[in-house]
């Protein structure tokens, strides 16, 4: 047994101590995911390269594989992250504090602006659909998050029906699909649609007009019929 401390690792007198970089797994993992989001959104799953992701993240490939195992599992983690980020922002709206009509307007506005501000989400969503939803199919995290998101729409709609603001008989899943569709299609097809309709669809004015149209369309779908005068 040694009677004193082991000084073999200490710097010699007069030398500067070597800098220490404590390992932070959470920060390393976040850097990898952020780099992977950029890589896969730019090049797709098949075109994205692990070595490029490691370089973007400024981390060794060996460490990347340590955290995620392989390219497929890394892409799954990317899909989970972008969806969880969306659902977290959606939940933060706290739509239960608003009357149903205002809550629905808030939700449509949120979806529209989120898609605009996060084009990587749309790109990765397209990629996941090209892969036949293989990650959604096998991810309990994604399925649970999707259920919670659907519950949010159903809760707003149910309150509206109970208060007489919305008409009964609408499938909340169809309503949710319509909200995402009127936002999603415009933004994913604006290049060709601009030519077809002869309009500049991505100007500030055009985007404001489209959001107003989306809100009006959704409210028209759900609004209760006015009471007939006796």
- List of E strands, 35-106: none
pLDDT of 7 strictly over 50 = no
Assign 227 a pLDDT band (cuts: 50, 70, 90). Answer: low
Look at residue 224 in the predicted model and tell me its pLDDT: 87
Look at residue 67 in the predicted model and tell me its pLDDT: 95
pLDDT of 219 strictly over 90 = yes
CATH (residue range 25-69): 1.10.10.60
pLDDT of 218 strictly over 50 = yes
Encoding tokens for residue 76? Answer: 């799954």
Look at residue 135 in the predicted model and tell me its pLDDT: 86
104 in Cβ contact with 222 (< 8 Å):
yes
pLDDT of 13 strictly over 50 = no
Handedness of CA 51, 56, 60, 62 (dihedral sign): negative
CA gap 100, 108 in Å, rounded: 12
CATH (residue range 76-222): 1.10.357.10
Asked which of 29-38, 109-118, 136-145 is least confident by mean pLDDT, the reply is 136-145
145 in Cβ contact with 153 (< 8 Å):
no
157 in Cβ contact with 100 (< 8 Å):
yes
Return the SS3 of 66.
helix
Half-sphere exposure of 108 (CA within 13 A, CB side): 24
* Domain locations along the chain: 25-69, 76-222
Mean pLDDT of the chain: 89
Look at residue 5 in the predicted model and tell me its pLDDT: 41
Give pLDDT tens digits for 119-171: 999 999 999 999 999 888 889 999 999 988 989 999 999 999 999 999 999 99
Which residue has 């709206």 as its token pair?
93
Over residues 183-206, the mean pLDDT reads 96
pLDDT of 65 strictly over 60 = yes
- Give the contacts of 202 (CB within 8 A, at least 6 positions apart): 190, 194
Look at residue 225 in the predicted model and tell me its pLDDT: 76
Label residues 181-212 b or e (16+ Cβ within 10 Å = b).
ebbbebbbebeeeeeeeeeebeeeeebeebbe
Return the SS3 of 141.
helix
Return the SS3 of 81.
helix
Look at residue 12 in the predicted model and tell me its pLDDT: 41
28 in Cβ contact with 59 (< 8 Å):
yes
Over residues 179-205, the mean pLDDT reads 96
């Amino acid at each position: 047994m040694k009677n004193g401390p082991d000084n073999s690792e200490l710097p010699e007198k007069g030398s500067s101590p070597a800098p220490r970089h404590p390992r932070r797994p959470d920060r390393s993992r976040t850097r990898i995911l952020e780099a992977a989001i950029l890589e896969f959104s730019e090049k797709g799953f098949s075109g994205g390269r692990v070595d490029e992701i490691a370089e973007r993240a400024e981390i060794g490939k060996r460490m990347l594989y340590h955290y995620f195992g392989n390219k497929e599992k890394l892409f799954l983690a990317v899909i989970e992250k972008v969806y969880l980020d969306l659902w977290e922002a959606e939940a933060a709206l706290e739509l239960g504090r608003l009357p149903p009509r205002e809550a629905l307007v808030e939700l449509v506005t949120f979806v529209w602006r989120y898609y605009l501000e996060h084009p990587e989400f749309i790109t990765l969503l397209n990629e996941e659909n090209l892969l036949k939803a293989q990650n959604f199919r096998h991810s309990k995290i994604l399925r649970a998050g999707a259920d919670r998101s659907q519950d949010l729409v159903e809760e707003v709609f149910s309150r509206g029906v109970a208060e007489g603001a919305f008409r009964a008989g609408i499938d909340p899943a169809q309503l949710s699909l319509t909200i995402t569709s009127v936002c999603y299609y415009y933004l994913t097809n604006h290049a060709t649609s601009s030519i077809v309709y002869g309009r500049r669809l991505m100007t500030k004015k055009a985007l404001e007009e489209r959001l107003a149209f989306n809100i009006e369309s959704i409210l028209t779908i759900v609004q209760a019929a006015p009471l007939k005068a006796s």
